[in-house]
Structure 1
Amino acid sequence: MLSLWRLTLLCGLLIGPSCCLLDSILPLSSIHSSIDRLKDEAHALSLDLRDDFERLKFPLEHVMKTILNDFETLSGKALDAFISKVTALIGLKIEDMAYLSLKPELSADGNSLQLRLPASAAISMKLPPLISDLIKAQVNMDFLMQLKIVTDEKTGLSEVSLGECLVDESTLKITILNGAAGLKARLAESLTAMVKKLIPSIMKKRMCPLMETFAKVMDVQKVQDVIDYLKTHKSMAPSAILR
């Protein structure tokens, strides 16, 4: 049977080395140091992510500026392809077209007829991921369509042909109706400028084939009579060209 002093000595030998062994395996000072280092790294990472977010928060303004610059440098098929990509990018849709009275005018050359067709439309677009809400706007513009009397090379007969067909950009007006609350002022201006670049091309593709078909069935003599009338008069009733 162990005496009291021997039992005390044995417990001391067991407890003492065990504490030292545990401290050598998992030193508390090292654990605290690691935790502090992880906190510092997490904080630094959060700052980096926040900086990245701030840099990405408003890239659209720069993108729009680049797009507007590209409109000025591209032409032909390259411009058409670019317009298609930008239209798809912002999901631009043109709906609810409405037309006012057709206005016959004498063309600048004095020998052909120009038809002015005021029109309005509702447009919508999105700017993800910056603005999730649908942006709606109203567009007003005038179409200009030139009707010329030409001679058919095969038959030798006179016929009406479509000349210039375009949007009078001086009449183009874009009014953002909603969704503008999330836009900075400069971004709203850039968006309006970009849409003004897109609309003439989109509407030209939509309207001009129809007007070309319209021109082919027009009466040659009627068109010539209107041209002759406008040479001596400033204007005429819109219905005169359609009778």
Structure 2
Amino acid sequence: MWCQDKMFQLWKLVLLCGLLAGTSASLLDIRGNDVLRKLQSGLERGLDTFDSALETIFQNLKTELESRCSDEVVEETQETENLLEQLISRIFQVVYSLTGVRIRNVQVPDITFEASDNGADVKIPITANITVNLPLLGEIVDLALNVDIQTTVSIETDTDTETGGSRVVVGECTNNPESISLTVLHRRFGLLNSVVDFGVNLARRVVSSVVQDELCPRFLKLLESLDAECVEKLIGEPQDTQVETGQGR
């Protein structure tokens, strides 16, 4: 046991000396690649395998949207945003267990359906706080996150059938890592700038992967599950260019 403790202290000393001596790039790269591998493996398996509540929340969100569309006029409500926040928060809890990148205080201020010539541009803004942890060094940086998930939705009429039924068509979900805004709120005193920069870059790559492989597919699936009449109500009339459901929060 004494030898194990000594070996651990020696490894800690080697790591810290390496960081201070300027060899941090390779050590941090190894850590970063390990984190991203674990995350990608989890995303490929499906985060539902880590938290069964994710599918339940998703189904509740789908039911909430459908219930809003059952009325003649789509009423403003916070429930949709609340369920979205629950879903995203649970997803990020799984991400934390895989990566050590903690994303909390998730907020979805509103969801907008902005009418366009071909349908509507859908925008879901997300804000959160991020803390990046490294072994031995602990929490190295706190960040504020702002990211917008955007896609398009339109209604197409099937002219090949006698009934001329309509269907919902959803566009691609945009995900540009550079569009992810990260602001440093707090950094651990005494750490090299390269270590802080590593934490910011790691957070960006983690968020980008989660948006691309987890959030975007879920949001597209949600929109595709709605019927054409429901989507038309959410889009509204051209003069009512957007439905904002987060007012009064």
TM range (shorter): 0.5 to 0.7
Whichever of the two has the greater Rg, that structure is 1
Partner-residue secondary structure (3-state), 1:116: strand
Post-superposition offset of 1:101: 1.9
Post-superposition offset of 1:116: 1.1
Aligned residue number for residue 103 of structure 1: 112
> What one-letter code is carried by the residue in structure 2 that aligns with 1:54?
C
CA offsets 1:80-120 (integer angstroms, 9 cap, x no match): 44999x9778511222210112233367xx52422111110
Partner-residue secondary structure (3-state), 1:143: strand
Identity across the alignment (%): 21
Q: How many aligned residue pairs are there?
A: 179
Post-superposition offset of 1:192: 1.3
Q: Is the 8 A contact 1:151 1:159 kept in 2?
A: yes
Aligned residue number for residue 48 of structure 2: none
Aligned residue number for residue 54 of structure 1: 17
Partner-residue secondary structure (3-state), 2:184: strand
CA offsets 1:8-49 (integer angstroms, 9 cap, x no match): xxxxxxxxxxxxxxxxxxxxxxxxxxxxxxxxxxxxxxxxxx
Q: Is the 8 A contact 1:142 1:168 kept in 2?
A: no
Would you say 1:172 and 2:207 are equivalent positions? no
Larger helix proportion of the pair: 1
Unaligned runs of 5+ in 1: 1-49, 70-76
Partner-residue secondary structure (3-state), 2:189: helix
Post-superposition offset of 1:199: 0.6
- 1:193–1:83 Cα change, 3 Å: farther
| Pairing of 1:1-243 with structure 2 (within 5 A) | 54-55=17-18, 57=20, 59-64=23-28, 80-81=40-41, 90-105=99-114, 111-129=118-136, 131-133=137-139, 135-150=141-156, 157-167=165-175, 169-221=177-229, 223=231, 235-238=241-244
Post-superposition offset of 1:217: 4.4
- 1:193–1:235 Cα change, 3 Å: farther
> In 1, distance between residues paired with 2:25 and 2:177?
23
> In 2, distance between residues paired with 1:104 and 1:177?
32
Please identify, of 172-181 and 149-158, the stretch whose mean Cα deviation from structure 2 is larger.
149-158
Q: Is the 8 A contact 1:135 1:178 kept in 2?
A: yes
Q: Is the 8 A contact 2:149 2:216 kept in 1?
A: no
Unaligned runs of 5+ in 2: 1-12, 45-94
Partner-residue secondary structure (3-state), 2:110: coil
- 1:120–1:62 Cα change, 3 Å: same
Q: Is the 8 A contact 1:83 1:198 kept in 2?
A: no
- 1:213–1:192 Cα change, 3 Å: same
